[in-house]
Amino acid sequence: MQARNTVSSYGAVSKALHWAIAALILTMIPLGLVAVEWPYDTSDALATKALLFSIHKTIGVAIFFLALARIGWMLSQPRPAPLHPERRLETALAEGVHWLLYVSLVAVPLSGWVQHAAAAGFAPIWWPLGQTLPFVPQSAALAAGAGTVHAVFTKLLMAALALHVAGALKHHLVDRDGTLARMLPGRLAASSGTPVPARRHALAPALGALLVYGLVGGTAVTIAGPDAESDARPGVALPATVGATTPASWIVESGELTFTVRQMGSPVTGRFGRFDAEIVFEETPDADGRHGSVTVVIPIASMTLGSVTEQARGPEFFHAEAHPAARFSADILAAEEGDADVPYRAEGTLALAGAEVPVTLPFTLEIVDGVATASGTVTVDRRDFGMGESYPDEATVGFSVEIDVSLEARRGGVAAGEGA
């Protein structure tokens, strides 16, 4: 069999790409539907769910690149002439469906890949280029929008696929012509009558398919709208609400609070979209060696953790309904001897998910013109807070959780731009 197309049949390359993509689609779609419905109430169930999603995503990326190869090859080849050139409307509709399929095979996996890259995540893609995409930041809002678009585009793909199969069966069972035989492996189609010369690929069906996807995707994003729970950029603190300020009090102007845990062996970072802090700090310690104190209140509803956000907010982990806020209360002390690189520590208690655990957060601090920049990292064990009791080992969810905080605060009573 020759590799290239002719005016009467498809070549070996076109057939191989066609049937490879078909087999992957018929695997990917059921896998995705099953993965969405699969429970995750136990460690084994979560592992299975992650495996199903990983296979689904990996196949999707394979389809994306095969589709690009298919489109490129198709545009470089002659288009086999229609067996019934007199049926102009039918021929135009068939070509339009073909282009809907081509665009679907790019748009569906790409939107899913964007969702995965933006959501930090759960169920890794098994490809070396894998988990991130250029120009795609990790953002809960972006992940949600891409997820909505992916779900809608999947329905368009299924509709285009159904029309394509229906057309092929109509040619084979009703018209009894050689249209389907043109794409069957190892076969050459016999033409009915004299085929017209090969033509260039028409531009209108391609533009029409792109327009359909643009309108549908734009509508999906518009209907989905912004995340109603986001009252600040993900991971950025809102200014703290404080009463009367003193030279020892500090007002947080911006900051970021994140945590990293290993899921299925891969690190995944979550963020809190809001935290309010009350800070009292003096560079000169008091008689007890205290430099001040800090109290941080963190609304759990502002937490995002990729595609498992709802699970993380649920009773098994943060239990946001019963414990809507976490609280860290601590004294600010000088670092213990030998910690010259981290001059301060906040030593206190973290109240989270109904448990109170002693926590010490070492942090760096720089004060310039009345503006303090601080950052610190501490590692806690989720089991100390009764989180994830159904996950007794680290195969699915790691025990250690690394908490990172950074913030910028202005000294109380000092306006922006003024000195200390």
CATH code for position 338: 2.40.128.110
CA–CA gap between residue 15 and residue 183 (Å, rounded): 6
CA–CA gap between residue 20 and residue 30 (Å, rounded): 16
So what's the pLDDT on residue 129? 66
In contact, 249 and 242? CB cutoff 8 Å: yes
E strand residue ranges, 7-77:
none
Residue 375 has pLDDT above 90, yes or no: yes
So what's the pLDDT on residue 208? 79
Q: How far is CA 204 from CA 89, 104, 200, 249, 414, in A?
A: 13, 17, 12, 66, 64
Say if 28 falls within a structural domain: yes
Residue 107 belongs to domain spanning: 12-224
Mean pLDDT value of segment 313-331 = 93
Gyration radius from the chain CA atoms: 29
For residue 411, which phi and psi values (nearest 5 degrees)? -60, 135
- Residue type (1 letter), 84: H
Task: Say how many C-beta atoms besides its own lie within 10 A of residue 80's C-beta.
Answer: 22
Owner of token pair 């809608």: 152
CA–CA gap between residue 356 and residue 64 (Å, rounded): 48
- DSSP single-letter state for residue 196: P
Residue 258 has pLDDT above 90, yes or no: yes
For residue 155, which phi and psi values (nearest 5 degrees)? -65, -40
Say if 6 falls within a structural domain: no
Q: Is residue 154 located within the same domain as residue 277?
A: no
- DSSP single-letter state for residue 163: H
Mean pLDDT value of segment 32-38 = 89
Q: Is residue 359 located within the same domain as residue 274?
A: yes
- Residue type (1 letter), 378: V
In contact, 21 and 66? CB cutoff 8 Å: yes
SS3 112: helix
- As given in the structure block, the two tokens for residue 129 are 């280029």
> pLDDT category, 225, cuts 50, 70, 90?
low
Q: Is residue 214 located within the same domain as residue 260?
A: no
Handedness of CA 261, 262, 263, 266 (dihedral sign): positive
Handedness of CA 335, 340, 342, 343 (dihedral sign): positive
* Predicted TM-score of the model (pTM): 0.64
Say if 359 falls within a structural domain: yes
Given 224, 258, 292, the domain boundary residue is 224
Q: Is residue 185 located within the same domain as residue 54?
A: yes
Q: Is residue 214 located within the same domain as residue 85?
A: yes
CA–CA gap between residue 296 and residue 240 (Å, rounded): 9
Q: Is residue 191 located within the same domain as residue 288?
A: no
- Residue type (1 letter), 102: Y
Given 224, 239, 264, the domain boundary residue is 224
Q: Is residue 209 located within the same domain as residue 261?
A: no
Between 48 and 128, where is the model more confident?
48
CA–CA gap between residue 264 and residue 353 (Å, rounded): 23
Residue 107 has pLDDT above 50, yes or no: yes
Task: Say how many C-beta atoms besides its own lie within 10 A of residue 112's C-beta.
Answer: 25
Dump pLDDT digits (tens) for 46-69: 778 888 988 999 999 999 999 999
Given 224, 241, 272, the domain boundary residue is 224
Task: Say how many C-beta atoms besides its own lie within 10 A of residue 308's C-beta.
Answer: 24
Say if 273 falls within a structural domain: yes
Mean pLDDT value of segment 294-316 = 87
Mean pLDDT value of segment 307-326 = 88
Say if 229 falls within a structural domain: no
Mean pLDDT value of segment 70-98 = 82
Mean pLDDT value of segment 102-112 = 93
Q: Is residue 98 located within the same domain as residue 160?
A: yes
Lowest-confidence segment of 208-217, 251-260, 315-324, 329-338 by average pLDDT: 208-217
Alpha helices in 257-302 (DSSP H): none
Number of domains the chain is built from? 2
Say if 400 falls within a structural domain: yes
Say if 4 falls within a structural domain: no
CA–CA gap between residue 338 and residue 177 (Å, rounded): 85
Alpha helices in 124-265 (DSSP H): 140-169, 203-224
Q: Is residue 49 located within the same domain as residue 171?
A: yes
Residue 104 has pLDDT above 80, yes or no: yes
Q: Is residue 72 located within the same domain as residue 217?
A: yes
Say if 358 falls within a structural domain: yes
Between 310 and 120, where is the model more confident?
310
Q: Is residue 194 located within the same domain as residue 332?
A: no
Q: Is residue 297 located within the same domain as residue 364?
A: yes
| Crossing angle for the helix pair 12-37 and 43-76, to the nearest 10 degrees | 160
